[in-house]
Amino acid sequence: MSILSSLLGNAGAIDKSTLQEKYGKLLIPSEEIEAGFKIIRDTFIFTNKRLILVDVQGLTGSKIEYFSVLYKSITRFSVETAGSFDLDAELKIWISGEQTPSISKRFNKKVDIYEVQKLLAEFTL
C-alpha cells in the first residue's frame, strides 16, 4: 500500500510493532493495525476494521479514553489547512446522525494531512 508507506515515512508516524505492543490488547483476533500516528499526546490507529483514537487526558496523562469508530459509521470528513506557508491542518470527522463533527484534531507539520486523508478515504469509500 503506497499510502501506508508514505504515511509511515512521516515523522509523526508510529511503527506498527510499537502500536501492536502498546495497544494490541484493544484488538479482536481478526483485526490488524494498518497504520498509526501521534498528535502531541493522542494517537490515531487505523486498523483493517476501525479507527481507534487514544485520547490522553489530564496533566499527568493517567486518564486515557479509547474511542473506536467503525469506518461504515463515518459519513463525511474534511481537511482544512491554514495556508501554503502554515502547515498546520485540522481533520474533522462526522459520525452518522450527528450534525457537527464528532472528531476534530489539529495536526502539525510533522504529519502529512493529505496522506491521512487518503488513508481515511481508502477505508471509508
Q: Is the pLDDT of residue 8 over 90?
A: no
Phi then psi for residue 8, to 5 deg, are -70, -20
Q: Which is more confidently placed, 77 or 14? A: 77
Highest-confidence range of 34-43, 61-70, 102-111, by mean pLDDT? 61-70
Q: What residue has cell string 509523526?
A: 12
Q: Check residue 60 and give its pLDDT.
A: 81
Please state the domain count of the chain: 1
Q: Is the pLDDT of residue 22 over 90?
A: yes
pLDDT one-digit tens code per residue, 40-94? 788 989 999 999 999 988 888 789 999 999 999 999 999 888 766 556 788 899 9
Q: Do residues 101 and 114 touch, judged by C-beta distance below 8 A? A: no
Domain range spanning residue 97?
3-124
Residue 118: CATH number of its domain: 2.30.29.50
